[in-house]
Amino acid sequence: MTGSVVDRLLARPEWQFATVLPKAAATLAAFWWLLLILRGLLPAGFAIAMGYLITAVQTQASLVAPLAAVAVVFLGLQILAPLHLVISKNLGSRTAAWLYDQLAGLCVTPTGIGHLEDPALTTDLSMARDFDLGITGPPLAVSMDFIAAGLVEFVGGVAATIVVAFFSPLAALLLAGSWLATHWLLRESAVWKDRNTDEVREAQRHADYSFRVAVDPPAAKELRLFGLSEWIVDRFSERRRRLYELRWEATRLREKSMIWSLLVVVAANLVVFGMLAQAAMAGSIELGQMVTFASAAVSTSMIAFGGLSWALDGASAPAAAVLRLQTTMAGKGALGIGSRSADALPAQSIRFRNVSFAYPSSSEQVLENFDLTIPAGSSLAIVGQNGAGKTTLAKLLCRLYDPASGTIEVDGIDLRELEPVSWRHRLTAVFQDFIRFEWSLRDNVAPAGDASDEQILDSLADAGAGNLADLDTPLAKAYVGGTDLSGGQWQRVALARALCAVRSGAGVVLLDEPTAQLDVRGEAEIFSRLLAQTRSCTTILISHRFSTVRQADRICVLEEGRVIELGTHDELIALDGRYCRMFSLQAERFNESKELAEQEGFDVLD
């Protein structure tokens, strides 16, 4: 029983938040708590000092000590609050930074990427990611002071109750009980804690997304083209209204609870002040004590106004989310880590042996008993319809996920036995949705910083991006001296990144639609250069462009997660199957366009 209450308390987000503070900044946190307690003790100290002073006046004793006590408390009241504010700000910033550091680590550390795609984690992830941006509440550097103020009041209320207990434990119990009851009556029954329900978070996500669509550049074109400007503003307002309604519902005070709270508090105060009056009349307490106990009795009300607050609520939820993610994310993204070096692999082959796979978030099998052998040093093209599973194969080979069953073997060694960093050093890829870093051209081509300028420039030249920009030019307009690139130019930069990795030792090259955005001349030219540069590598090319595909040593046609045809271009044409039909269709179209272009007098490639 006691265990479960303690467990419940330890699991509370507020407690989790408290555990984060010393991790973020131990000394600052210790000072923050120390000042918090000192500030909390001041109102009770003031009541005692005033009583002491009045007694001294009454008994005509020396006023030096009582006046000094009043002065110390008064000075404390003046000095501690601003000092605490500065510490709160600093501690808030440090705690936010610590939480962000943790989150960044949690996202990038796991070997796989399943933890970033699991819907069960997205609520915690988005809350932890956005909490300090000022969208859901003030940043932690600001709200720490509100949190401190709430806790100071609570400590003050408790200290005042202890002072009242010297008059009468019953009176202390009555007052503390009645003011504590307001927490229960007004907050717990008024579903204060329900500000963080899934419904509120979902509404928050909708509101945030509509806002981002309205203000961020990516949707700017569609908003104008489809005449959606007013629609998106209305949609954002509507989603935000819904969020506010839900939050208001969650935090409003219930009328009935208000009346009950008032009744309980008024009754308790009547009884206690009656007891005080009676004691004063009976002469059992002095005037000085009377002043101390009466002002302490008033101060017990701080129990009601302090303690849990919206600020603590707003800071605790993301802190608890980060701590939760520490266990969940590591588990979801974890893949067994082998210890064998992948140096010089593959020397013989890469083999998918009976591989089946479904994404963690779905039950649909993307690959089923998939079998394929790729001889080392050869090039293989994979073709197939949208959604056939081509990119998924590439992700499995990069070991971003592990197969549900079956194995991927490199020279007969299960990929899971290889040390992931060593394997990834042997591998490079241009993904279909490759990353465009808002950094310099140099950092885009060699992000790990392990290539010389000469290697970078050679790679750019091989990718047909030799004259794109200076190596130090930031590739985003938002930065001073920055420039933006066209879709095809970006693709060349991504190709240069892969070629640069080959120069640094990669032996397996994965190209997922590497020429989709290149013009026809560029495609033919770049692809033959690419093949020349990666001649000693095992190259896997995924493409819908058959003029590129046919240059590969072998071609694999993928359908619904299975290999349905495999062979050289000539073999597959002779087979007169799916590949042959797809190839002929595209060639026919190309020839039609070529004829048309020639009629119009354009320069056409063969």
Ligand X SMILES: Nc1ncnc2c1ncn2[C@@H]1O[C@H](COP(=O)(O)OP(=O)(O)OP(=O)(O)O)[C@@H](O)[C@H]1O
Least Cα distance to 50 among 27, 36, 80, 71 occurs for 71
Count residues binding ligand X (CB under 6 A): 14
Picked from Mg ion, ligand X, none, the partner binding residue 117 (CB below 5 to 8 A depending on kind) is: ligand X
- Rule CB under 6 A: choose which of 51, 66, 157, 389 binds ligand X: 389
Q: How far is the CB of 390 from ligand X (least distance, A)?
A: 4
Picked from Mg ion, ligand X, none, the partner binding residue 331 (CB below 5 to 8 A depending on kind) is: none
If one asks whether residue 387 binds ligand X (CB under 6 A), the answer comes out as yes
Q: Kindly indicate which of the ranges 237-245, 298-306, 386-394, 419-427 contains the residues binding Mg ion, using the contact rule CB under 5 A.
A: 386-394
Q: How far is the CB of 506 from Mg ion (least distance, A)?
A: 21
Least Cα distance to 423 among 447, 457, 389, 400 occurs for 400
At 269, the amino acid letter reads N
Q: Kindly indicate which of the ranges 101-109, 178-186, 356-364, 481-489 contains the residues binding ligand X, using the contact rule CB under 6 A.
A: 356-364
Residue with Cβ nearer ligand X (196 or 392): 392
Q: How far is the CB of 533 from ligand X (least distance, A)?
A: 24
Decide: residue 8, CB within 10 A, 0-12 exposed, 13-18 middle, 19+ buried.
exposed
Q: Kindly indicate which of the ranges 42-50, 356-364, 391-399, 451-459 contains the residues binding Mg ion, using the contact rule CB under 5 A.
A: 391-399
Decide: residue 476, CB within 10 A, 0-12 exposed, 13-18 middle, 19+ buried.
middle
If one asks whether residue 363 binds ligand X (CB under 6 A), the answer comes out as no
Decide: residue 184, CB within 10 A, 0-12 exposed, 13-18 middle, 19+ buried.
exposed
If one asks whether residue 78 binds ligand X (CB under 6 A), the answer comes out as no
- Degrees to nearest 5, angle at CA 161 with 160 and 165: 120
Site for Mg ion in 90-129 (CB under 5 A): none
If one asks whether residue 384 binds ligand X (CB under 6 A), the answer comes out as yes
Q: Kindly indicate which of the ranges 57-65, 188-196, 249-257, 384-392 contains the residues binding ligand X, using the contact rule CB under 6 A.
A: 384-392
Q: How far is the CB of 392 from ligand X (least distance, A)?
A: 3
Site for ligand X in 185-204 (CB under 6 A): none
CB count within 10 Å of CB 26 equals 10
Q: Cα separation of 417 and 45, whole Å? A: 67
Q: How far is the CB of 334 from ligand X (least distance, A)?
A: 17
Residue with Cβ nearer Mg ion (152 or 430): 430
Residue 563 zone, left/alpha/beta (φ > 0; ψ -120 to 50; rest): beta
If one asks whether residue 514 binds ligand X (CB under 6 A), the answer comes out as no
- Report CA torsion sign: 58, 60, 61, 66: positive
Q: Is the Cβ–Cβ distance between 123 and 201 less than 8 Å?
A: yes
- Degrees to nearest 5, angle at CA 332 with 329 and 335: 115
If one asks whether residue 391 binds Mg ion (CB under 5 A), the answer comes out as yes
Output DSSP code: residue 375: E
Residue ranges binding ligand X (CB under 6 A): 117, 359, 361-362, 366, 384, 386-392, 432
Residue ranges binding Mg ion (CB under 5 A): 390-391, 432
